Amino acid sequence: VEIGESVRGEDVYIIQSGCGEINDNLMELLIMINACKIASSSRVTAVIPCFPYARQDKKDKSRAPISAKLVANMLSVAGADHIITMDLHASQIQGFFDIPVDNLYAEPAVLQWIKENIMEWRNCIIVSPDAGGAKRVTSIADRLNVEFALIHKERKKANEVDRMVLVGDVKDRVAILVDDMADTCGTICHAADKLISAGATKVYAILTHGIFSGPAISRINNASFEAVVVTNTIPQEEKMKHCPKIQFIDISMILAEAIRRTHNGESVSYLFSHVPL
Q: Which of 10, 96, 12 lies closest to 51, judged by CA? A: 96
Phi-psi group of 9: left, alpha or beta (phi > 0 → left; psi -120 to 50 → alpha; rest → beta):
left
pLDDT tens-digit map of 119-130: 888 888 888 888
Q: Is the pLDDT of residue 257 over 70?
A: yes
Q: Is the pLDDT of residue 261 over 80?
A: yes
Domains of the chain with bracketed CATH: 11-104 (3.40.50.2020), 106-249 (3.40.50.2020)
To the nearest 10 degrees (0 to 180), the angle between helices 134-144 and 107-117 is: 50
Cα separation of 229 and 206, whole Å? 5
pLDDT, residue 226, reads 84
pLDDT, residue 132, reads 80
Q: Is the pLDDT of residue 159 over 70?
A: no
Q: Is 22 exposed, middle or buried (0-12, 13-18, 19+ CB in 10 A)?
A: middle
Q: Is the pLDDT of residue 81 over 90?
A: yes
At residue 158's C-alpha, the angle toward residues 225 and 71, to 5°, is 100
